[in-house]
Structure 1
Amino acid sequence: MNVKIIRSNRKTLAIQINPDLSVIVRAPMYAPQSDIERILREKEGWIQKHIEKIREQEEKKKETQGESVESEYLTNEEIKKLADKALQHIPKRVSYYAKQIGVTYGRITIRNQKTRWGSCSSKGNLNFNCLLMLTSPEVIDYVVVHELCHRKEMNHSGAFWAEVEKVLPDYKEQVKWLKENGAQIIGRMK
């Protein structure tokens, strides 16, 4: 298993499995190596399950698409167009939903990322993936609401998901869609 450890000023440890099947462990700066290795051993079944799921999705994609245009890499020009489009669209949705949720936010940044659809910093700055523009308006709204709800709950607890559900009662449909199709879209990044 190819594991990369990234240490930062975070408080908790997170395990991330990438579309290329590499594993990233994000750990607090001073977490002992032995703790990281123990958690990796404990989570080995979970990691393997997710790696297997990604492999299955890749197989399914090859079977259903063959070499279709959908799986071609995006050019830098296409990525720039998606980012420009996202800059026009996403801030409006953030403004709309922030009022509804009753939260404030800082800077909005559009990026081209290979691992995330969006993120929210502790200061309230929001990042969104330009590839969201290849999804439906419902998926974009879900990611916007997801990140804004982190302004109330900086975690993925039951309370956090309850906040998301208040705004988007059918959010699980978008989560399911991203799980089934997200890797394929992100896979179009070089």
Structure 2
Amino acid sequence: MDIPVEVQRSRRKTLAVSVGKDLRVLVKAPLFLSDKEIHAFLEKHRKWIEKQLVRQRERKENARNFSPAEVKELKMQARQLAEELIQKYAPQMGVKPTGLKITSAVTRWGSCSGKNSICFSYRFALLPKEAAEYIVVHELAHIRVKNHGPRFYEQVRRILPDYKERIALLKQAQCSLGL
């Protein structure tokens, strides 16, 4: 493969490949696997790797950097939107977050702590409303179910039967925003 690849060997049992935002191709491999077997694995996954590299390059090119004033405004908008959507969906779900925080997170839209405090990235304010609703319902569902198992998605589906379409919309918006 003509693309630079970093190989990390460990006591793992399986091979895995990932493409980072920094356009690095990383292979995690078992200690006992030969270079030839790793190379064959990379060749088998060449199309996927190339597709991911194109996707990451496009994200980098489309990425938008915000001024401090823009970040401040987006944080206010995100808080207002989050409060509005939590007020709408929390009662329907029978949950109540213990806190709300707006962060500058880049790699995640939201999170729910073990103590049921919810955080959202200020970038959440840039999303279409249907995608923002999905993120809020997703984090509220974590108050009841702390993992992403079937019970968790049943909570989400009960409130948003079209949640899969909303996830697709979120991914589309994420790419167009360069995130």
TM-score normalised by L of structure 2? 0.70
Please state how far the C-alpha of 1:95 moved relative to its aligned partner. Answer: 2.1
Match of 2:55 in 1: 57
Structure 2 CA distance for aligned equivalents of residues 145 and 86 of structure 1? 15
Question: Partner of 1:100 in structure 2?
Answer: 92
Judged with a 3 Å threshold, the aligned counterparts in structure 2 of structure 1 residues 72 and 153 are, in CA distance, closer, same or farther, namely closer
Alignment of 1:1-190 (within 5 A): 19-21=21-23, 52-58=50-56, 71-185=63-177, 187=179
Larger Rg, first or second structure (1 or 2): 2
Q: Secondary structure at the match of 2:143?
A: coil
Identity of aligned pairs, percent?
34
**In structure 2, what is the Cα distance between the partners aligned to 1:48 and 1:161?**
33
Q: 1:171 offset after TM fit, Å?
A: 1.0
User: Aligned residues, how many?
Assistant: 155
Contact 1:120 1:150 in 2 (8 A): yes
What's the TM-score, normalizing by structure 1? 0.66
Superposed displacement of residue 20, structure 1: 3.0
CA offsets 1:111-168 (integer angstroms, 9 cap, x no match): 1111100000110000001101111111111000000001111111111111111101
- Consecutive unaligned residues of structure 2, counting only runs of 5 or more, are 8-17, 34-40
SS at match of 1:87: helix
Contact 1:79–1:130 (Cα < 8 Å) also in 2: yes
Q: Structure 1: which 5+ residue stretches go unaligned?
A: 4-15, 24-35
Which residue pairs with 2:37 in the alignment?
none
C-alpha displacement of 1:185 = 2.6
1:186, CA displacement in angstroms? Answer: 5.4
Moved more, 178-187 or 138-147: 178-187
Q: Which amino acid aligns with 2:54?
A: E
Aligned-partner Cα distance in 2 for 1:51–1:82: 34
SS at match of 1:116: coil
When the two chains are superposed, the root-mean-square deviation of aligned CA atoms in Å is 3.5
Per-residue CA deviation, residues 48-90 of structure 1 (Å, 9 max, x unaligned), is 998655423245568xxxx7xx644221211111001111221
Cα 1:20/1:106, change in 2 over 3 Å: farther
Aligned-residue offset at 1:179: 2.4
For the residues of structure 2 that align with 1:2 and 1:106, how far apart are their CA atoms? 42
